[in-house]
Structure 1
Amino acid sequence: MKRGIGKSHSKIILIGEHSVVYGYPAIAIPLRKIGIECIVEDAKNSFFYNKINTLSVAIFTALKHLKKENAKIKYKITSQIPQKRGMGSSAAVSIAAIRAIFDYFEEDLTDELLEKLVNTAEIVAHQTPSGLDAKTCLSDKAIKFIKNKEFSYIDLNLDAYLVIADTGIYGKTSEAIQSVKNLGSKADIPLKKLGDLTDEMAKILTENSKSKSEMIDKAGKIMTKANTELGKLNITIEKTDLFVKTAIENGASGAKISGGGLGGCVIALAKNLEIVEKIKDGFTKCGAENIWVEKI
């Protein structure tokens, strides 16, 4: 049986969510251990296109590019990435699916074309995608990104741990984006502050300071300040506030929500594995559905 396979990985935004949509920088980190795989095989019937489903759109986008819209195929997804948690599930599934289609038809796929096709599919999942999710899910390095302008890779050297907790509540990206829009000019100051905090974070992540502990403390404070600004944009909720508070009480240098907001994930920065375990225990008691740890 003819078969095509495509893979991708997850991501998490360290800082700059929402403000990135308005032209400010954001920093995102690939989570290479959290993966997704798509397998495409022969089928008796032509592919059924569902334009409100990101995966379906991604497959159709690839088929259309290859002029194979009537291909008789079926697909299967195996994913470790939870949906609607700000971990790039829609971008990652699009990447894996498009790679699988091109592999199935034994067609060459450049990184540039892949990113273009993924962003086309991503418009279905998000009202105004920044492109950050797709770029990070395609990367092995952290990325500083400014929409439609520039991006650069960051070699992380904090020697710290990022604890990522799934609150168990679906993030509501579209609703959160609209909420920020509804604030009008009241959103200007928090958005600019988020941009400034992201620039500060980038400097810390790229400087070669002898005091790692001091760098981690600075980065943590920036994260917590960013969470405060996100709160002013009305995209934090009671449960994410509880997770942030719990992380700091258990020794985190800082904590914040990550992603679209109104649910999703909370991330916390820890200096060592002992603190990591305390934070994980606190998150578990708060009802975390899943917890991941990434060295940064």
Structure 2
Amino acid sequence: MTAGSRLPEGSYDAVWASPGRVNLIGEHTDYNDGFVLPFALPHSTVVAARRRAEPGWTVTSEQTGETVAFQDEKVEGWAAYVAGIVWVLREAGHDVPPADLWITSDVPFGAGLSSSAAIECATMAVLVDLIRASGGADLPMQLRPRLAQRAENEYVGAPTGIMDQAASTLCRAGHALFLDCRSLATEQVPFDVAEAGLAVLVIDSKAPHAHVTSEYAARRRSCEDAAKLLGVTALRDVDVAGLDDALAQLDDEVMRRRVRHVVTEDQRVLDTVAALRAGNLRAVGSLMTASHESMRDDYEITVPQVDTAVRVALEHGAYGARMTGGGFGGCVLALVNEDEHESIAAAVREAFAANGFAPPDSFVVTPSAGTRKISR
């Protein structure tokens, strides 16, 4: 059963779906103006809307059964991701019609798979439909990620980069999205794992995960402070060839580690894109593993559950494995042979049990489409 099939019966003025995402490589590079390479999940959030005569908006969650009504007051909790989109569209000069909205989703929540961006991007799509139907201006897809990011940063209060919203909006099936987070230039890079006899196994560690944390914000501040000390706009402007010279200018060892991760991670994204363009998918595995080691040792955002999942996947034949998402929990990606994903998932479950961790979930994902209209 798809998420959209769980909407209440009846007619709607607009129904759109936006997917969650996994990031193949490029972690914590987005807010440093760097490069990322996400792809969209087959799991999506569906938002449906009906215009209403009364002022204001309501949003009902199929997951919680809760309905939240709002007009100009500040909204907290899960509904803030919806209210934030209303707010940012109005801030951008759009007259957002009053509406009732319903949300249903099969994107795992709190797993680092960007369930929040899926809500934001699907909400924006239905509201833009209503704006157009009321005689307002369209909002091209390419411009929507920046507005959705602003809603999450300024309204919700999460200091995220633009990757999640861009992936949820712009990805294409069978491709990864190569995104330059400074210029917002994109390239759809072929990533057909099945054709290569491979699979991407997602292991949800079930370790709690949240972006609105002091740890995430502290790392962003450290990067911004380092950029100022180095006299660059963002760490994107330090390349691998100049890394040693840059590190020599920094006295703080923690800041040095943060900079080393971001600079080398940007290069790993570029190397991964080159491998995919050449059709050498297996070569991506070693880059994924190096990315995880950098997140573990230099950025210090992993936890024992994800480190265990990576180690066991590699021991049982994965070409590469890494945590994906903001860190401190969430999911691991493993690039594996298509006929080995079940045995690797079983080995991870056994290791989690032996360590006293909560049982993980695991599933295979394929690169899927971004924001799309649903016929109801």
TM-score range, shorter chain: 0.7 to 0.9
Whether the 8 Å CA contact 2:146–2:162 is kept in 1: the answer is no
Name the CA shift for 1:162/1:288 in 2 (closer, same or farther; >3 Å).
Answer: farther
Q: 1:137 aligns with which of 164, 168, 175?
A: 168
The DSSP-based 3-state class of the residue aligned with 1:173 is coil
Q: Given residue 318 of structure 2, which amino acid in structure 1 is its aligned partner?
A: A
- Is 2:50 the counterpart of 1:41? yes
Alpha-carbon distance in 2 for matches of 1:208, 1:46? 51
Q: 1:151 aligns with which of 186, 202, 208?
A: 186
**TM-score, structure 1 normalization:** 0.86
The CA deviation string for residues 196-228 of structure 1, in whole angstroms up to 9 with x for no partner, is: 22222111111045xxxxx41x32111111111
The DSSP-based 3-state class of the residue aligned with 2:83 is helix
Alpha-carbon distance in 2 for matches of 1:185, 1:246? 30
- Is 2:87 the counterpart of 1:60? yes
Q: Given residue 187 of structure 2, which amino acid in structure 1 is its aligned partner?
A: S
The CA deviation string for residues 164-186 of structure 1, in whole angstroms up to 9 with x for no partner, is: 12111232334343342453233
How many correspondences in the alignment? 286
**TM-score, structure 2 normalization:** 0.69
- The Cα shift of 1:237 comes to 0.6
Q: 2:301 aligns with which of 235, 245, 251?
A: 235
Name the CA shift for 1:265/1:280 in 2 (closer, same or farther; >3 Å).
Answer: same
Whether the 8 Å CA contact 1:46–1:72 is kept in 2: the answer is yes
- The Cα shift of 1:67 comes to 1.9
Q: Given residue 275 of structure 1, which amino acid in structure 2 is its aligned partner?
A: E
Aligned-pair identity (%): 19
Whether the 8 Å CA contact 1:18–1:177 is kept in 2: the answer is no
The DSSP-based 3-state class of the residue aligned with 1:248 is helix
Whether the 8 Å CA contact 1:26–1:144 is kept in 2: the answer is yes
The DSSP-based 3-state class of the residue aligned with 2:301 is coil
Name the CA shift for 1:200/1:116 in 2 (closer, same or farther; >3 Å).
Answer: closer
Gaps of at least 5 residues in structure 2 are: 1-10, 58-69, 223-253, 353-357, 368-376
Residue of structure 1 in register with 2:16 after alignment: 6
Q: Given residue 106 of structure 2, which amino acid in structure 1 is its aligned partner?
A: Q
- Residues 51-200 of structure 1 aligned to structure 2 (within 5 Å): 51-52=75-76, 53-62=80-89, 65-68=93-96, 72-105=98-131, 106=133, 108-123=138-153, 124-125=155-156, 127-138=158-169, 139-140=171-172, 141-149=175-183, 150-158=185-193, 159=196, 160-175=198-213, 176-180=215-219, 181-182=221-222, 183-200=254-271
- Residues 279-290 of structure 1 aligned to structure 2 (within 5 Å): 279-285=344-350, 286=352, 287-290=358-361
| Most deviating of 195-204 and 116-125 | 116-125
- Is 2:336 the counterpart of 1:270? yes
Alpha-carbon distance in 1 for matches of 2:319, 2:125? 39
Bigger-Rg structure (1/2)? 2
Q: What RMSD over aligned residues (CA atoms) do the two structures have, in Å?
A: 2.5
- Is 2:44 the counterpart of 1:20? no
- The Cα shift of 1:4 comes to 2.6
| Most deviating of 53-62 and 175-184 | 175-184
| Most deviating of 152-161 and 42-51 | 42-51
Alpha-carbon distance in 1 for matches of 2:218, 2:294? 14
| Most deviating of 179-188 and 275-284 | 179-188
Name the CA shift for 1:136/1:288 in 2 (closer, same or farther; >3 Å).
Answer: farther
The DSSP-based 3-state class of the residue aligned with 1:247 is helix
Residue of structure 2 in register with 1:212 after alignment: none
Gaps of at least 5 residues in structure 1 are: 210-214
Q: Given residue 56 of structure 1, which amino acid in structure 2 is its aligned partner?
A: A
Alpha-carbon distance in 2 for matches of 1:275, 1:161? 9
Whether the 8 Å CA contact 1:2–1:104 is kept in 2: the answer is no
Alpha-carbon distance in 2 for matches of 1:126, 1:239? 27
Whether the 8 Å CA contact 1:15–1:198 is kept in 2: the answer is yes
The DSSP-based 3-state class of the residue aligned with 1:169 is coil
The DSSP-based 3-state class of the residue aligned with 2:109 is coil
